[in-house]
Amino acid sequence: MAATDEHRIDPGRSIDWSRSSADYARHRQGPPESFFAKLQALGIGLPGQRLLDLGTGTGLIARRLARQGARVAGIDIAAGQLAEARRLAAAEGLPVEFREAPAEDPPFADASFDAVTANQCWLYFDKARLLPRLRRLLAPGGLIMVSHFSWLPRADPIAAATEAIVLKHNPVWTGGDWDGAVALPPAWMTPDLEIRGFFLYDEAIPYTAEGWRGRIRACRGVGASLEPEAVAAVDRDLAAWLAAHAGERFAVRHRLDATILAFRAS
């Protein structure tokens, strides 16, 4: 993921995604197949399309779009995340190019890409710096896809209980209690952009208890910001709650959304 302003997001916490990379690679699922089918219908992830994935993390989006035949590069500032991304791509034989760089300063020539994707990471970026750079980076008619894949604590009891446990150990975490609202147009949209597509829907995502615990260890408010002892405490509390209330297998309701934009012709 990209750099974050620690005074605005989780104030007082230093966030380092590399610390959560092992759990992230093993347990953090990418969006379901339905998400990628909808994206492809809106022109994202086409065979031969040149794509740049911002805040790529372990390459969940980048690797999935490469499987569809897109020519993909991914950038991130977290070296540990990129190491996992390269390992996982190599294991699948996927020719994804991963580079260490901030989203606001991608190390590529102008007009290098047909589309740019950013899943679950747009909030970390400095849009005033990023958007002019993307305008140069995209070929004429290029697309920007901003998406989210988020659990719904106000609609799902497992998500709500999990957030309460995280907040017990990390009370400055600001990632909880999302109301599910998605603004259209997005607040950061500038006059030189136009919306080319949008979707929003809910899906129940299946987990095992072990998988959900790993997913939570990999989240910003736990593995990326807490000391190991506190991470272990979150995990113990969550394991006990799941054993008492959820069982070994369950589903957690998530909301998925994507906004596809393009720059207006000059």
CB of 148 closer than 8 Å to CB of 256: yes
Q: Tell me which residues of the chain have a pLDDT lower than 70.
A: 1-7
Q: Would you state the structure tokens that stand for residue 211, as one six-digit string?
A: 């998988």
Convert the pLDDT of each residue in 64-76 to its tens digit: 999 999 999 999 9
b/e map of 12-34 (b: 16 or more CB within 10 Å)?
ebebbbbbbbbbbbebbebbeee
* Domain contains 7: no
Q: Which domain holds residue 181?
A: 16-263
* Domain contains 160: yes
**Rounded (5°) CA angle 9-197-34:** 80
β-strands 249-263, 138-151: how paired?
Answer: antiparallel
* Domain contains 4: no
Please tell me the total count of domains within the chain.
1
What is this structure's pTM?
A: 0.94
Q: Would you state the structure tokens that stand for residue 111, as one six-digit string?
A: 């007009």
CB of 189 closer than 8 Å to CB of 183: no
**Count of Cβ atoms closer than 10 Å to residue 128 Cβ:** 10
The CATH number for 82's domain is 3.40.50.150
* Domain contains 113: yes
> What order do you get walking across the sheet with 138-151 strand by strand?
97-100, 71-76, 50-54, 113-119, 138-151, 249-263, 193-208
Q: Give the separation between CA 146 and CA 131, rounded to whole angstroms.
A: 12
* Domain contains 5: no
* Domain contains 6: no
With CA atoms as reference, report the closest residue to 218 among 54, 15, 39, 7.
15
CB of 43 closer than 8 Å to CB of 117: no
Q: Would you state the structure tokens that stand for residue 104, as one six-digit string?
A: 């606001």
**Rounded (5°) CA angle 166-168-169:** 70
* Domain contains 32: yes
pLDDT value for 266: 75
Convert the pLDDT of each residue in 205-234 to its tens digit: 999 999 999 999 999 999 999 999 999 999
pLDDT value for 1: 34
CB of 53 closer than 8 Å to CB of 117: yes
pLDDT value for 41: 97
State the average pLDDT for the chain: 95
* Domain contains 63: yes
State how far the alpha carbon of 58 is from the alpha carbons of 7, 81, 187, in Å.
Answer: 25, 5, 28
Q: Give the separation between CA 257 and CA 189, rounded to whole angstroms.
A: 16
Tell me which amino acid residue 47 is: P
pLDDT value for 3: 33
